[in-house]
Chain A
Amino acid sequence: MTNLLLDLDTSMINWARAQFALTAIYHWLFVPLTLGLAVIMGIMETCYYRTGKEFWKDTAKFWQRLFGVNFAMGIATGIILEFEFGTNWSNYSWLVGDVFGAPLAIEGIVAFFMESTFVAVMFFGWNKVSKGFHLASTWLTGLGATISAWWILVANSWMQYPVGQEFNPDTVRNEMTSFADVALSPVAIDKFVHTAISTWVVGAVFCVGVCCWYLLKRRHVEFAKASMKIGAIVGLTASLLAAISGDHSAYTVGQTQPMKLAAMEALYNGGTDQSLTVISAVNPFKQPDYENEEEAPFRIAVPYALSFLATHDLHGFVPGVNDIINGYTKDDGTVEMSLKEKIERGQKAIIALQQFREAKKKGDSAAMDAARSVMAENMKYFGYGYVKESEQIVPYIPVCFYAFRVMVGGGCLFILLFALILFFLYKKDITKPKWLHWLALACIPIAYIVSESGWLVAEFGRQPWTIQDMLPTWVGVSDLQTESVMITFFLFLILFTTMLAVEISILCKQIKKGPEGEK
């Protein structure tokens, strides 16, 4: 029956991708503030615990109230993300569920319960539990959220850099062989460090921006100054750490996902001594003609910087898009096959799997062994067996290119912002420079754009793979009709957008009301 369907509905795949992207983008509007504010309000409540001053209690409660409004939307969008792996990516769920499911389950058992138990104590326990228990609950809420981030980023990192598994032809799926390799892969560690720290930056920008609004309005000045000190110190520390961890992440990408790096840099033809593009005129609306263009037009670059970034060697070899398609030799002498060869080997693996299953049905153990042997040689390229054209394996370059620059540029801007805020806080009068207040306020939406850009780089750069080199998106989907996914896409779009508008409206009212509103 199933073979009556001769082709997959490609538009359904695109709608499934769009729906997942929509949910992920919305989810990531709420999570960074949750993680970032958790640190800031934890420090504020610690000040209250140590000094006993009501001022710090009011301050902590104000930020906790904003945290609460934002927290609910993070949870609401998060549950959809988890279940969308099953609803929209059912083949994926089976083919890699043995590896991918474990971090999600651990996230639930270890992190979500901690978060949901103690967040209730944090919000409603001020007059019900001791100061110490309440403080512990505030930090445990943040810790739970951060542990949750760890496990989901472990899962995401495994999609970027699959390790610790092998394909089992008997069960037709990838099975975990080393939990430590999955949980502690270098990509997972880099991704967690960089992502968690970047959320502190978002939380700090939000905190500082809101405080600057109060300074502009000449309201709650003492509260604003006290909050800003904490926000700016957390923000500057986190921004600098984000730059360091970002540099390391770029190196890891260069080693594990060269096509992503080539797309981030719009690097069509690589080589040694590569310069890093500061900016160039890549057409944002069209995939560039990387086959025929030498490089992107009007390029301004820093000599040797890309080689150093990607290989930690000024003269290191960095492959471009065409090198990856045509094959190249790495600095250590190993040869990376051309796409054509990978496709051939992937097809051999697929055919061998088919032969294995047929032999298994017949009980022909000799044929099974022969097929197993072919699979062992070619399984690494299994995913390439579904690829037909070279353009299928090139991510959409303009998005990767510009999102990377927005992320890096925004990060530099925040370092400057926090340094200026601290300078005026400690050496000058922070209540006076209106231009700085406006800058801090403007940085709130910029922080969200920068944060989302980081994810655009990570996820667009991985395309077309759901699992890097293993499973293309069009093999990971569910068997659904286009109209079903299209309808749910628009339903979620309307729902999330409406709720986002409500959240922003409530946040604005709460901020307008200010910290003294509770008295």
Chain B
Amino acid sequence: MHIMSYEFLQQYWWFLVSLLGALLVFLMFVQGGNSLLFQIGKTEEERRMLVNSTGRKWEFTFTTLVTFGGAFFASFPLFYSTSFGGAYWLWMIILFSFVLQAVSYEFQNKLGNLLGTRTFQVFLVINGIVGPLLLGGAVATFFDGSNFIVQKENIANEFQPIISQWANRSHGLDALLDIWNIVFGLAVVFLSRILGALYYINNVNDDIICQHSQKRLLVNTIYFLVFFLMFVFHLLMKDGYAYDSTTGEIYMEPNKYFHNMFGSFTVLALFLVGVVMVVNGITFTLWLKQKDGKPFTKGIWLAGIGTVMTVLALLLCAGLFNTAYYPSNVDLQSSLTIENSCSSEFTLRTMAYVSILIPFVLAYIVYAWRAMDKKKIDRQEIAGDEEAY
């Protein structure tokens, strides 16, 4: 494959979109942390520390979600039109919950907020559960399929020119009837709660918060492992949606995702190392002590990087290796592949040049993040900072 060939660009952009998706799952520690707001924060002061802890990062999650959407639009517009226009209700509920979250930080402790602090905290909890659950469910449809039809000929039909159509009136809510979408959604919910607890342990300098977070970490890890392992087992055993890159024909292939995972050393290594890092991040935090007797606080980084690697491996399995990443259960040939749904070569190449900026963006994010996190959040800081949420 030539560098910057159309085929390379399709795969490159699938990699970038997958990376953004993987980073988004990591950054959903904000949502996971918020879902634990009332379980870890027993007093108003403790909850304020938690809100201020995730409150200084929530915009990264939000921006990554927006960029994930924008990158998908630019690189795979047929997915954008088919999934967003088809699974309307699924995406609308997700977006609605993120709107609730966006305003809740800024408004909750301000005078004159009309709805009261508790209402905005409940909004954060709603987004903390609904966001990861439905985003996880939406991603699971990459493996389990959705109910849509794509007919490009429709554009010449003046009475019905719409190309992508959902095959039923539920408009995406049917995804929640598939048990495996729910299982994966729940795995993402519990993973985000694990990451949220790890983040609090790292970012809030308070013994009580740390103890409560550790307790929640253990419980959520058990639930996460159950749902995650169930889904991975199902994924590796199930038939997958393959396509012939010469003819474009889509067909079912037994154990497709097993072959994808074990057929590529890179993907397998990403997955296994990622899982090990997540497990280590959790176990070190639960059972390893620092010299001063305090628990290990770097677990968020181990588990966070591990999450990115694991999710990236799963998404690469979904879209590379001649796999249809957005399969249709009602019309197999309507399924979307990175070849039939991508932008033109010119656009992908132009966007590839822009993507050279990504390392610079990451560099200043890391720099600013480190500068802001040098001093951890504590009770004193919250009490004395007028800018605090």
Answer whether A and B are interacting partners.
yes
Q: Give the residues from 107 to 161 in chain A that come closer than 8 angstroms, CB to CB, to chain B.
A: 107-110, 112-121, 123-129, 133, 137
Q: How far is the CB of B58 from chain A (nearest CB, A)?
A: 9
B89 and A107 contact, CB distance less than 8 A: no
A350 and B347 contact, CB distance less than 8 A: no
A86 and B171 contact, CB distance less than 8 A: no
Contact with B along A57-81 (1 / 0, CB 8 A): 0000100010011011101111110
Known contacts being A86-B73, A87-B91, is A79 close to B67, with CB within 8 Å? no
Q: Give the residues from 355 to 389 in chain B that come closer than 8 angstroms, CB to CB, to chain A.
A: 355, 357-358, 361, 364-365, 368-369, 371-372, 374-375, 385-388
Q: Which one of A106, A385, A475, A491 lies within 8 Å of B354 (CB-CB)? A: A106
A484 and B89 contact, CB distance less than 8 A: yes
Q: Give the residues from 158 to 189 in chain B that come closer than 8 angstroms, CB to CB, to chain A.
A: 158-167, 169, 171
B63 and A116 contact, CB distance less than 8 A: yes
Contact with B along A494-511 (1 / 0, CB 8 A): 010011011101101110
Give the distance in Å from the alpha carbon of A173 to the alpha carbon of B346 in the complex.
14
A102 and B347 contact, CB distance less than 8 A: yes
Q: Give the residues from 115 to 147 in chain B that come closer than 8 angstroms, CB to CB, to chain A.
A: 115
Known contacts being A80-B99, A505-B114, is A109 close to B59, with CB within 8 Å? no
B67 and A176 contact, CB distance less than 8 A: no
Q: How far is the CB of B95 from chain A (nearest CB, A)?
A: 6
Known contacts being A99-B347, A128-B374, is A479 close to B67, with CB within 8 Å? no
Give the distance in Å from the alpha carbon of A328 to the alpha carbon of B59 in the complex.
52
Q: How far is the CB of B72 from chain A (nearest CB, A)?
A: 8
Specify which chain B residues have a CB less than 8 angstroms from the CB of A106 in the assembled complex: 74, 351, 354
Q: Which one of B163, B344, B365 lies within 8 Å of A94 (CB-CB)? A: B163
Specify which chain B residues have a CB less than 8 angstroms from the CB of A479 in the assembled complex: 85-86, 162, 164-166
Specify which chain A residues have a CB less than 8 angstroms from the CB of B106 in the assembled complex: 68-69, 71-72
Give the distance in Å from the alpha carbon of A173 to the alpha carbon of B341 in the complex.
11
Q: How far is the CB of A296 from chain B (nearest CB, A)?
A: 34
The stretch of A1-9, A257-265, A459-467 in contact with B is: A1-9
Interface status of A365 (Cβ within 8 A of chain B): no
A120 and B162 contact, CB distance less than 8 A: no
> Nearest CB to that of A501 among chain B residues?
B114
Interface of chain B: mostly helix, strand, loop or mixed: helix
> Nearest CB to that of B354 among chain A residues?
A106
The stretch of B43-51, B76-84, B205-213, B304-312 in contact with A is: B76-84
Interface status of A402 (Cβ within 8 A of chain B): no
Q: How far is the CB of B10 from chain A (nearest CB, A)?
A: 13
A86 and B84 contact, CB distance less than 8 A: yes
A98 and B354 contact, CB distance less than 8 A: no
Q: Which one of A99, A108, A126, A171 lies within 8 Å of B70 (CB-CB)? A: A108
Interface status of B98 (Cβ within 8 A of chain A): yes
A116 and B73 contact, CB distance less than 8 A: no
Interface status of A340 (Cβ within 8 A of chain B): no
Give the distance in Å from the alpha carbon of A439 to the alpha carbon of B352 in the complex.
52
Q: How far is the CB of A484 from chain B (nearest CB, A)?
A: 6
Specify which chain B residues have a CB less than 8 angstroms from the CB of A73 in the assembled complex: 102-103
Point out which of A102, A168, A481 has the most chain B C-beta atoms below 10 A from its C-beta: A102
Q: Give the residues from 232 to 281 in chain B that come closer than 8 angstroms, CB to CB, to chain A.
A: none
Give the distance in Å from the alpha carbon of A69 to the alpha carbon of B114 in the complex.
14
Interface status of A101 (Cβ within 8 A of chain B): yes
A113 and B361 contact, CB distance less than 8 A: yes
Chain B interfacial residues counted at CB < 8 A: 87
B113 and A506 contact, CB distance less than 8 A: yes
Interface status of B96 (Cβ within 8 A of chain A): yes
B77 and A510 contact, CB distance less than 8 A: no
Interface status of A518 (Cβ within 8 A of chain B): yes
Q: Which one of B110, B149, B371 lies within 8 Å of A506 (CB-CB)? A: B110
Known contacts being A98-B77, A479-B165, A506-B107, is A108 close to B66, with CB within 8 Å? yes
Q: How far is the CB of A61 from chain B (nearest CB, A)?
A: 8
Give the distance in Å from the alpha carbon of A31 to the alpha carbon of B310 in the complex.
37
Q: Which one of B80, B358, B372 lies within 8 Å of A121 (CB-CB)? A: B372
Q: How far is the CB of B214 from chain A (nearest CB, A)?
A: 26
Q: Which one of A65, A100, A108, A133 lies within 8 Å of B71 (CB-CB)? A: A108
B60 and A102 contact, CB distance less than 8 A: no
B153 and A101 contact, CB distance less than 8 A: no
Interface status of A351 (Cβ within 8 A of chain B): yes
A97 and B162 contact, CB distance less than 8 A: no
Interface status of B216 (Cβ within 8 A of chain A): no
Q: How far is the CB of A378 from chain B (nearest CB, A)?
A: 13
B149 and A79 contact, CB distance less than 8 A: no
Q: Which one of B74, B77, B102 lies within 8 Å of A79 (CB-CB)? A: B102
Q: Which one of A94, A133, A513 lies within 8 Å of B81 (CB-CB)? A: A94
Q: How far is the CB of B344 from chain A (nearest CB, A)?
A: 4
Interface status of A95 (Cβ within 8 A of chain B): yes
Specify which chain B residues have a CB less than 8 angstroms from the CB of A128 in the assembled complex: 371-372, 374-375
B73 and A113 contact, CB distance less than 8 A: no
Give the distance in Å from the alpha carbon of A495 to the alpha carbon of B368 in the complex.
33
A79 and B387 contact, CB distance less than 8 A: no
Q: How far is the CB of A386 from chain B (nearest CB, A)?
A: 6
Please name the 4 residue pairs, one residue from A and one from B, whose CB atoms are nearest each other, closest first.
A90-B85, A97-B77, A86-B84, A108-B67
Q: Could you list 16 examples of A-B contacts with CB < 8 Å?
A: A76-B98, A79-B98, A85-B80, A90-B86, A90-B162, A97-B80, A101-B73, A102-B343, A105-B67, A105-B354, A109-B357, A113-B361, A168-B344, A357-B153, A491-B96, A499-B99
Inter-chain pairs besides A105-B73, A107-B70, A171-B344, 9 sampled, C-beta below 8 Å? A1-B167, A5-B160, A69-B110, A93-B81, A98-B347, A116-B59, A502-B112, A503-B103, A506-B107
